[in-house]
Amino acid sequence: MTSQPTLETSGSDPAPKGPGTGTGLQAGLKNRHLTMIAIGGVIGAGLFVGSGTGIAATGPGILLSYALVGVLVVLVMRMLGEMSAANPTSGSFSAHADRALGRWAGFSIGWLYWFFWVVVLAVEATAGATILAGWIPAVPQWGWALIVMLILTATNLASVGSYGEFEFWFAGIKVVAIAAFIVVGGLAVFGVLPGVHTDRAGLGNLTEHGGFLPHGPGAILTGVLLVVFSFMGSEIPTLAAGESEDPQRAVTKATNSIIWRIAVFYLGSIAVVVCLVPWNDTSITDDGSYVAALDSLGIAHAGQLMNVVVLTSVLSCLNSGLYTASRMAFSLGERGDAPKAFARTTGRGVPRTAIIASVVFGFVAVFFNYEFPDSVFLFLVNSSGAVALFVWLVICFSQLRLRRIIQREAPERLVVRMWLYPYLTWATAALIVFVLGYMLTDTEHDGRETVLLSLAVAAGVLIVAVVKERLRGRREAVDA
């Protein structure tokens, strides 16, 4: 650790070279790939699957919950955009924390983030397998999970361009589906959708069933707890930008577009849902919020149509999760915080060992999901649940210090600037801490258990980081 870090203190060394290795990551992502990754990356499967629970617990006021989390994400992504545009890297916020706060911070948050995404691989593989087994029951559910994981692993092993191409089409389907849903649903809300007549749709659903906040203002925070994790993935463009032709432009564009992306895809679509169907309708939780909204319009095969969209989102999340986990592992290996093999690449710029290590853990987690769903796998899920908030908090503290470093050493790199620095950064950090604190009071939705288990895992990783740093210091002292 050093008291005066610089932009080049760590995280920027080239990957180790050796027999059979390439020359590091390559710029295989095109502008259209980055654009669609940025637009579609914010639309996770959680939006389609988990929003029903939030609506049932909060009522129409869930819009305020989404708006509050949306503002939080916009602010955090603005900070990350500032740091990533100044110094694009595959390690993104982990590499920035390394420079700004110390090796212990980059090590800890990098491994926690990797852990989060490899657990997500198991969750999404199981979700996708459930849908596919419903369509083709001749193949067992575990068989579909295996098939899906193998296909996307092969895609990521081929080249970064293959990942980008798959994600381009996956994200494109999600974007078109959400846009069509908003247009069709919006026309129905105002009673101008040709051929559809429903007496339940209308703006009155926002206030007529117990009011806008039927469970009181406190339910807004409950809603925040239920929806905050569906925003994880907004940071992926900053990791992917390192493998694009113009990283600075890609990061700047993704950062500047985050506001309208959240406003349209999250707030816009959820507003349509709560206007089409009363918030207390049991179909919202039984069938899913989007399926219930489509069913209310009498659209034939609405459930299957939505299953196609959900499956696409699941595959997109799997594809991006494997990519993100492997690039974080690559960055950790590059900085000496993971086995050196993780930082070796093939001739096509693919970190093969990092990908295989990530997917192996994902396969193990899938096995736990089938064999020990209520013990081992539940622990994995809950212990990774608060990582998103930890990541966002580290981004805040990293930006507070790295801004001063950039201003001192390379002010021309500040092409993206955090608004009202440092006051808005501190306010954002305080809000994240408040959400974590409120989660500790939540026993109904497992918020307390999630935070405590995540803190326990984080503490374990932090201890390893501190011990590793001290051992490194002793070795350097002996060498000197």
- Please indicate, yes or no, if residue 480 is contained in any of the structural domains: no
Residue 248 is part of which domain span?
Answer: 31-473
- Please indicate, yes or no, if residue 4 is contained in any of the structural domains: no
pLDDT, position 20? 38
pLDDT digits (tens, 9 = 90+) for 154-182: 999 988 888 889 889 988 888 888 899 99
- Please indicate, yes or no, if residue 158 is contained in any of the structural domains: yes
SS (H, E, C) the chain: CCCCCCCCCCCCCCCCCCCCCCCCCCCCECHHHHHHHHHHHCCCHHHHHHHHHHHHHHHHHHHHHHHHHHHHHHHHHHHHHHHHHHCCCCCHHHHHHHHHCCHHHHHHHHHHHHHHHHHHHHHHHHHHHHHHHHHCCCCCHHHHHHHHHHHHHHHHHHCHHHHHHHHHHHHHHHHHHHHHHHHHHHHHHCCCCCCCCCCCCCHHHHCCCCCCCCCCCCHHHHHHHHHHHHHCCCCHHHHHHHHECCHHHHHHHHHHHHHHHHHHHHHHHHHHHHHHCCCCCCHHHHCCHHHHHHHHCCCCCHHHHHHHHHHHHHHHHHHHHHHHHHHHHHHHHHCCCCCHHHHCCCCCCCCHHHHHHHHHHHHHHHHHHHHCCCCHHHHHHHHHCCHHHHHHHHHHHHHHHHHHHHHHHCHHHCCCCCCCCCHHHHHHHHHHHHHHHHHCCCCCCCHHHHHHHHHHHHHHHHHHHHHHHHHHHHHHHHHC
Pairwise CA distance, residues 71 & 69, whole Å: 5
- Please indicate, yes or no, if residue 144 is contained in any of the structural domains: yes
pTM of the model: 0.89
pLDDT, position 21? 43
- Please indicate, yes or no, if residue 236 is contained in any of the structural domains: yes
pLDDT, position 33? 84
pLDDT tens digits in sequence order for the chain, 480 residues long: 444 566 554 334 433 443 334 457 877 888 788 888 877 766 776 788 778 889 998 999 999 999 999 999 999 999 999 999 888 887 889 999 999 999 999 999 999 999 999 998 888 888 888 889 989 999 988 899 889 999 989 999 988 888 889 889 988 888 888 899 999 999 989 888 876 667 778 899 999 889 999 999 888 988 888 888 788 888 888 888 878 888 888 888 888 888 888 888 889 999 999 999 999 999 898 888 888 888 888 877 777 888 888 889 888 888 888 999 999 999 999 999 999 999 999 888 899 999 999 999 988 988 888 888 888 888 888 888 889 899 999 999 999 999 999 999 989 999 999 999 999 999 999 999 999 999 898 888 788 899 999 999 999 999 999 998 888 878 877 876
- Please indicate, yes or no, if residue 342 is contained in any of the structural domains: yes
CATH of the domain at 137: 1.20.1740.10
pLDDT digits (tens, 9 = 90+) for 305-364: 888 888 898 888 888 889 999 999 999 999 999 999 999 998 888 999 999 999 999 889
- Please indicate, yes or no, if residue 19 is contained in any of the structural domains: no
Q: How many domains does the chain have?
A: 1
- Please indicate, yes or no, if residue 253 is contained in any of the structural domains: yes
